[in-house]
Chains A and B, each alone.
Chain A
Amino acid sequence: MSSLKDQACIVGVGQTPFTRGSDEEPDNFRLQLRACEAAIEDAGLESQQIDAVLPFVSLGIAEEFAVHLGIRDLRYQATSHVGGACPGASLANAAMAVSARLANYVLIPGGWYGYSGRKVREVVVSDVSVMSGGVTARDYYFPYGLTVPTQWFSMMARCHMDRFGTRPEQLGAVAVAMRKHAQLNPNALMRERPMTLEDYLASPMIADPFRLFDCSLEADGAVALIVTSAERARDLKAKPVYVMGIAQGQPFPADDIATREDVFELGLTSAAPRAFAMAGIGHEDVDFAEIYDPFTFQVIQQIEEMGFCERGEGGGFVEGGRIELGGDLPVNTHGGLLSEAHVLGMNHFLEAVRQLRGDAGDHQVEKAEIGIVTGFGDFGDGAIAVLRR
């Protein structure tokens, strides 16, 4: 088989509203089902035409989606246990399935009551099977009160600040850029809450060096994607978004963040060159980047690890408007997990598709041709997709 490049397309996207709080009883599956129906409708398909489902880890099983959508002939399913890298990993899986003709129309759902239901901090504490490193965390981190991602990644940020001189104002530049973009996005939770660098620096410290505004927004929301082959995409109503390149990776060891030899290594470090090579592009070809942002520091880190700049230079890279709309590399044009909502990185794919369809309204990147979407899971598993219109 020749390259996977341009063999698969995203042809449908759907979402529920992103909220903090809901009148309904929190039911992650029901929320995702609504997003699935919206995506299927967006693709111009009937739900029975879906023949593959790739659920998000710990948030559903394929059979449950099949039963509710009336899928009589589910011919492919898989779940990737890589946390927030799951959407990207599932997209790789979907691209392979459709180009190998194992399935025709693949559904990738992802969503949760991340605000109204069990919060991330509670999930990690209560169910170690949910993430790689769950056992490491339970037995070697939790006894010392190192219990949530905010605390794990703030330690990495401190290393970066000590080693490279990265400053709080540079983490703040990420927060401010994301918040700026959110002002232009009707879906963003922080739409009417502008933020200055002063506001950022004044926000309360959560786990030093992470302040409140370094942390993403727990939210209720779901997104679904429909993937098919480039061939089948031509017959559907929406402008197809082509998967030019896709890859995933893991740091070593993936399940322990404290003992990693290369402290700043991410799965993305090895995945990015692979995805760029498949796509046949260079960094200068990227018109926008939706970067998985559970915390501001990870935006800086992923920009470095993808090779947009040298390791240690990410702090300078994000300053001066470079990552804002109108800058050289607009990042998280929807506001990201930081200012739109934390919907598991599925909302990053949603935004990328809208950008490439020309449907991003006030936060549209002019002449958007090629965009990238990253995923980051657990202790640093990574995925990256290069998409084009």
Chain B
Amino acid sequence: MAGSQSGYGKPLPLMRGFTKQFYDHCRNGELRFQCCTACGKWRHVPRNTCASCGSWDWEWARSNGRARVFSWTVVRRPMHPNFTEEVPYAPAIIEMEEGVRLVSWVVDCPPEELRAGMPVEVFFDAVTPEVTLPKFRRADA
């Protein structure tokens, strides 16, 4: 699973099905989430049906990329060998303006300066030729 050819050693998503679709959009520079076309509810992680209304109909709706930090942890002791050099790092739950949340990093903010509600915006990091990860930077309010 690790991209040993490109030298990127960190865990990568399994590029299949909905996961592949999500990350392929990221590779194209777009943050898209599933949106139910029957009731309009956005959702993440991707699923087959809408838990609100039961519809199987959905589309990959494009997010405006603006969000706020919802929560985070600061990893000070490495728990996975491929993240040792990143410590301390802060995986965060990011809440998009559309209401969906996802886990990511705020790359330009020291962990001590993270605040709940901090405005951020998405950018895209092509960590391997196949996989681009959405990450976030500080934004104006």
The verdict on A208 contacting B74 (CB below 8 Å), with A139-B14, A258-B103 known, is yes
The verdict on A206 contacting B91 (CB below 8 Å), with A139-B13, A144-B104 known, is no
Contacts of A138 in B (CB 8 A): 11, 13-14
The verdict on A155 contacting B71 (CB below 8 Å), with A139-B14, A206-B76 known, is yes
Contacts of A258 in B (CB 8 A): 93, 101-103
Contact A151 B91 (CB under 8 A): yes
- The distance from the CB of B75 to the nearest CB of chain A, in whole angstroms, is 5
Contact indicator per residue, chain A 139-171, by CB within 8 Å of chain B (1) or not (0): 111111111101100111011001000000000
Contacts of B14 in A (CB 8 A): 135, 138-139
The verdict on A259 contacting B101 (CB below 8 Å), with A125-B80, A139-B14, A204-B77 known, is yes
B74 contact from A121, A148, A207, Cβ within 8 A: A207
Q: How many angstroms between the C-alpha atoms of A166 and B34 in the bound complex?
A: 35
Contacts of B71 in A (CB 8 A): 155-156, 158-159, 162
Q: In the complex, what residue of chain A is closest to B47 when comparing beta carbons?
A: A253
Contact B91 A146 (CB under 8 A): yes
B100 in contact (CB, < 8 A): yes
B103 contact from A144, A150, A156, A210, Cβ within 8 A: A144
B76 contact from A121, A204, A253, A256, Cβ within 8 A: A204
Number of residue pairs A-B, CB distance < 8 angstroms: 106
Q: How many angstroms between the C-alpha atoms of A204 and B88 in the bound complex?
A: 13
Q: How many angstroms between the C-alpha atoms of A141 and B93 in the bound complex?
A: 10
Q: How many angstroms between the C-alpha atoms of A117 and B13 in the bound complex?
A: 26
Contact indicator per residue, chain B 108-122, by CB within 8 Å of chain A (1) or not (0): 000100001000000
Q: Which of B10, B11, B44, B70 gathers most chain A CB within 10 Å?
A: B11
B73 in contact (CB, < 8 A): yes
The verdict on A143 contacting B73 (CB below 8 Å), with A121-B79, A136-B45, A208-B111 known, is no
Contacts of B13 in A (CB 8 A): 138-140, 142-143
* Number of A residues with CB within 8 Å of any CB on chain B: 36
Interface of chain B residues 49 through 108 with chain A (CB within 8 A):
51, 70-77, 79-80, 83, 86, 89, 91, 93, 100-105
A205 in contact (CB, < 8 A): yes
B51 contact from A135, A209, A253, Cβ within 8 A: A253
Contact B45 A140 (CB under 8 A): yes
The verdict on A158 contacting B11 (CB below 8 Å), with A144-B91, A144-B103, A259-B100 known, is no
Contact B103 A140 (CB under 8 A): yes
Q: How large is the interface on B (under 10, 10 to 19, 20 to 34, 35 or more residues)?
A: 35 or more
B31 in contact (CB, < 8 A): no
Q: Which of B13, B74, B103 gathers most chain A CB within 10 Å?
A: B103
Q: In the complex, what residue of chain B is closest to A145 when comparing beta carbons?
A: B83
Contacts of A146 in B (CB 8 A): 73, 91, 103
Contact A145 B91 (CB under 8 A): yes
Contacts of A159 in B (CB 8 A): 70-71, 116
Q: How many angstroms between the C-alpha atoms of A207 and B79 in the bound complex?
A: 10
Contact B101 A143 (CB under 8 A): no
- The distance from the CB of A221 to the nearest CB of chain B, in whole angstroms, is 22
Q: How many angstroms between the C-alpha atoms of A130 and B44 in the bound complex?
A: 22
B19 in contact (CB, < 8 A): yes
Contact A139 B45 (CB under 8 A): yes
Q: How many angstroms between the C-alpha atoms of A242 and B51 in the bound complex?
A: 38
Q: In the complex, what residue of chain B is closest to A210 when comparing beta carbons?
A: B73
- The distance from the CB of B47 to the nearest CB of chain A, in whole angstroms, is 9
Contact A145 B10 (CB under 8 A): yes
Ranked 7 nearest A-B pairs via Cβ: A208-B74, A142-B11, A139-B13, A146-B91, A154-B73, A145-B83, A139-B19
- Residue pairs across A and B with Cβ atoms less than 8 A apart, 20 shown, are A121-B80, A139-B14, A141-B91, A142-B80, A144-B104, A145-B80, A146-B91, A146-B103, A151-B75, A151-B79, A155-B71, A155-B91, A158-B71, A159-B116, A205-B74, A207-B75, A208-B76, A253-B51, A258-B102, A259-B100
